[in-house]
């Protein structure tokens, strides 16, 4: 009887390890874009972006002035904004306002290839872009 329980314990432990690994792999499927606002400039850090994957844009305002981050890339897309402990859901959001030294996170699925510009409507000279190419595997 003891031997049967030992195998059951090993099987449960193996299942727990597999579940933890599966969760870790699943969380890696998000593509992340870091945008820092510094000296009235958007500084973007990202890897290659792919269509149809969950995309997370973290925006941090390091300036002493208020800025916003807006883009047409969100038009018609369901998105989630996390800011100051509040989570808002919507479709076709325009962007997010960021007070000095604050941050926000936008989650959505990239569905359209192309050059996606973003800007600060308060400071019209502040602009940036994300380039999403649709390339077929060879």
Supply the CATH number for residue 46's domain.
2.60.40.420
pLDDT tier, 27 (very low <50, low <70, confident <90, very high otherwise): very low
Give the pLDDT confidence score for residue 134 in this predicted structure.
63
CB 6 within 8 A of CB 12: no
pTM of the model: 0.74
Give the pLDDT confidence score for residue 14 in this predicted structure.
35
In angstroms, rounded to a whole number, what is the distance separating the alpha carbons of residues 24 and 29? 9
What are the two backbone dihedrals, phi and then psi, of residue 45, each rounded to the nearest 5 degrees? Answer: -130, 120
Mean pLDDT of the chain: 79
Answer whether residue 1 shows pLDDT above 50.
Answer: no
The structural domain count of the chain equals 1
Query: Which region, left, alpha or beta, applies to residue 85 given φ > 0 means left and ψ of -120 to 50 means alpha?
Result: left
Q: Is residue 8 part of a domain?
A: no
In angstroms, rounded to a whole number, what is the distance separating the alpha carbons of residues 54 and 56? 7
Nearest to 90 by CA among 108, 103, 64: 108
Instruction: Kindly state the average pLDDT of the residues 36-45.
Output: 96
- The boundaries of the domain holding residue 106 are 30-132
- 45-102 pLDDT, tens digit per residue, is 988 888 888 999 999 999 999 999 999 888 888 999 999 999 999 887 888 999 999 9
| E strand map for 3-137 | 31-38, 41-46, 54-61, 67-71, 78-83, 86-91, 95-98, 103-109, 114-119, 127-132
Q: Is residue 62 part of a domain?
A: yes
Q: Is residue 104 part of a domain?
A: yes
Answer whether residue 22 shows pLDDT above 60.
Answer: no
Answer whether residue 20 shows pLDDT above 60.
Answer: no
Q: Is residue 50 part of a domain?
A: yes
């Amino acid at each position: 009887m003891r031997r049967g329980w030992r195998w059951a314990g090993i099987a449960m432990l193996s299942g727990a390890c597999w579940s933890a690994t599966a969760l870790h792999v699943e969380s890696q499927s998000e593509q992340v874009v870091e945008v820092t606002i510094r000296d009235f400039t958007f500084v973007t850090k990202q890897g290659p972006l792919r269509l149809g994957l969950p995309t997370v844009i973290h925006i941090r305002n390091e300036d002493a002035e208020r800025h916003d981050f807006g883009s047409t890339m969100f038009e018609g897309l369901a998105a989630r904004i996390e800011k100051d402990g509040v989570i808002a859901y919507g479709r076709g959001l325009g962007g997010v306002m960021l007070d000095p030294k604050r941050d926000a996170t936008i989650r959505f699925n990239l569905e359209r290839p192309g050059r996606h510009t973003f800007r600060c409507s308060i400071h019209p000279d502040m602009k940036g872009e994300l380039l999403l190419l649709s390339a077929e595997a060879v």
